[in-house]
């Protein structure tokens, strides 16, 4: 019986496997993925599939580090500049569309090149997952209808209710997620509602399958660097990052001001920075600065108008003047520093994902590590080694790559988020890092000092009342004695 089941699963896996090559270029932010992918596509005569959840939006070119027309060098790039700011592209939608593009490229004898920093997008194209096997049990149209219905149902759930809802549906997934990771919570709920299987159960199935490759061979070029991230942020600021972020926010806020007739600052407080394009690094980090310039009257005429937002040259000049004056200059410096911190954290998370999910031993997977730390030595340290690997693949004799780790045999136990509540500030934190950061913050220390002052004042008032009561009692006793 078990042998029959194994054979059936193996047969379903093979239905998704194609003996055609796939090239993937991945790495943390700022590692030169775009440059390498264009060079590879030019050499192979292929096309590029961008797997970046932010670059798919129109605009925001600086913040997302989107390849310019010159950098693309005439190579077709898919999934760039497709969505408006209020639209979204889910991972299953991306996967299904991208796989169709890859199929067309293979039919045209082209080699597809997948590049981007959203690594779960990359993984969805590299590997056959348990969700693929699940969907193969039903008609595609039926599966798509269920997925759409689940998305609509989950979208109606308030953010504050997501965590408790998931604890009821999939406790194992809820245990490894932060209660404020709304996007991930929604994704776990969508999987459960659309497939009838929990995400935690799917993960166990994927590990049992070993996530076999969709395309054989698959060559992966892993671009790494140890420095340059902070410098890259400074370059983005010099290119106009702040103006780009503020232009987007001004357009978004203006639309809501016109529709709801609320104050701009109130609209800002209602924006969700965990969905869509607002997830991009830069929006949350520069939000205090944006609030400051709005409170100082920037773009007042725009917000009062019902016409489409147009940030003109005069408005940009007014903004620049506000940014060189205090406290604008201080908030600008803090925003830039926070962008650097967020970028470094994001790069670290990307590297962790790559090691844990992409760099796993599988048949016909070849991974080549490229040191892109020094742009001046790019030709010798990046392109020439990549070119050798590509030529070997074309000769059907791929070069050995990195020694990869096997898939774990058991699901690692995720550490459940621990809630830390500051009753003084009336805030909750679900990670030790955020909790310690809050305890060390100036705002928290001010609250402590204020509480101590209030306690001292209350102690003095009580002592004064006690003294007055004692004097009154003494006076009363004296009156009685006299009588």
Residues in the chain: 483
User: Which stretch, 7-11, 311-315, 361-365, 465-469, has highest mean pLDDT?
Assistant: 361-365
What is the chain's alpha carbon radius of gyration, rounded to the nearest angstrom? Answer: 28
User: What are 147-167's pLDDT values in tens digits?
Assistant: 677 778 888 888 888 888 888
Residue 97: the pLDDT is 94
pLDDT digits (tens, 9 = 90+) for 12-29: 666 778 899 999 999 877
**Cβ proximity of 255 and 267 under 8 Å:** no
For the record, the structure tokens of 288 come out as 């205090």
pTM over 0.85: no
pLDDT digits (tens, 9 = 90+) for 351-394: 888 888 888 888 899 999 888 888 888 999 999 999 999 999 99
Instruction: Indicate the DSSP class of residue 375.
Output: G
Mean pLDDT score across all residues of the chain:
82
Q: For 414-449, write each residue's pLDDT tens digit.
A: 555 667 788 888 777 766 767 777 888 888 888 888
- Which pLDDT score is estimated for 179? 82
Predicted confidence band of residue 2 (pLDDT cuts 50, 70, 90): very low
Cα of 373 vs its chain's centroid, Å? 24
Mean pLDDT confidence for 226-254: 84
pLDDT at 314 over 50: yes
- For residues 299 and 319, give the distance between their C-alpha atoms in angstroms, rounded to a whole number: 9
CATH number of 2-229+354-394: 3.40.50.300
Q: Is 341 exposed, middle or buried (0-12, 13-18, 19+ CB in 10 A)?
A: middle
Between 438 and 246, the higher pLDDT residue: 246
CA distance 192 to 167: 12
Is residue 6 over pLDDT 50?
Answer: no
CA separation for the pair 229, 17 (Å, rounded): 37
Per the structure block, which two tokens stand in for 187?
């994704």
Decide which of 49 and 415 is more confident: 49
């Amino acid at each position: 019986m078990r042998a029959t089941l194994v054979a059936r699963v193996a047969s379903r896996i093979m239905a998704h496997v194609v003996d055609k090559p796939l090239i993937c270029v991945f790495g943390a932010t700022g590692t030169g993925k775009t440059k390498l992918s264009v060079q590879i596509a030019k050499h192979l005569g292929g096309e590029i599939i961008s797997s970046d959840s932010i670059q798919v939006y129109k605009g925001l070119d600086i913040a997302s580090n989107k390849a310019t027309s010159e950098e693309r060098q005439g190579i077709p790039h898919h999934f760039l500049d497709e969505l408006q700011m209020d639209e979204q592209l889910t991972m299953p939608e991306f996967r299904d569309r991208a796989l169709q593009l890859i199929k067309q490229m293979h039919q045209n004898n082209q080699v597809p090149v997948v590049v981007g920093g959203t690594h779960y997008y990359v993984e969805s194209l590299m590997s056959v997952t348990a969700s693929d096997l699940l969907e193969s049990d039903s008609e595609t149209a039926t599966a798509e209808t269920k997925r759409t219905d689940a998305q609509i149902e989950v979208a109606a759930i308030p953010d504050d209710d997501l965590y408790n809802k998931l604890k009821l549906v999939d406790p194992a997934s809820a245990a490894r997620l932060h209660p404020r990771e709304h996007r991930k919570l929604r994704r776990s709920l969508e999987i459960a509602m659309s497939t009838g299987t929990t995400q935690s159960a799917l993960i166990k199935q994927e590990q049992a399958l070993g996530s076999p490759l969709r395309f054989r061979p698959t060559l992966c070029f892993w671009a790494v660097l140890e420095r340059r991230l902070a410098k890259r942020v400074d370059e983005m600021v010099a290119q106009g990052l702040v103006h780009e972020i503020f232009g987007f926010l001004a357009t978004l806020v203006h639309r809501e001001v016109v529709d709801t007739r609320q104050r701009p600052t109130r609209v800002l407080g209602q924006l969700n920075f965990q969905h869509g394009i607002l997830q991009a690094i830069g929006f949350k980090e520069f939000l205090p600065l944006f609030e400051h310039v709005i409170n100082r009257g920037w773009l007042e005429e725009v917000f009062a108008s019902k016409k489409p937002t147009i940030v003109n040259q005069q408005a940009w000049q007014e903004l620049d003047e506000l940014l060189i004056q205090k406290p604008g200059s201080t908030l600008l410096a803090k925003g830039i520093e926070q962008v650097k911190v967020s970028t470094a954290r994001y790069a670290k998370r990307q590297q962790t994902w790559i090691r844990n999910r992409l760099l796993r031993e599988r048949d016909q997977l070849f991974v080549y590590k490229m040191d892109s730390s020094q742009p001046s030595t790019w030709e010798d340290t990046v392109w020439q080694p990549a070119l050798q690997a590509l030529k070997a693949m074309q000769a059907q004799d791929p070069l050995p790559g990195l020694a990869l780790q096997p898939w774990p045999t058991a699901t690692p136990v995720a550490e459940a988020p621990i809630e830390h509540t500051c009753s003084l500030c009336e805030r909750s934190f679900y990670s030790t890092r955020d909790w310690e950061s809050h305890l060390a913050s100036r705002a928290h220390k001010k609250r402590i000092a204020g509480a101590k002052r209030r306690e001292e004042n209350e102690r003095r008032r009580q002592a004064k009342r006690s003294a007055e009561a004692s004097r009154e009692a003494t006076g009363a006793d004296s009156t009685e004695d006299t009588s």
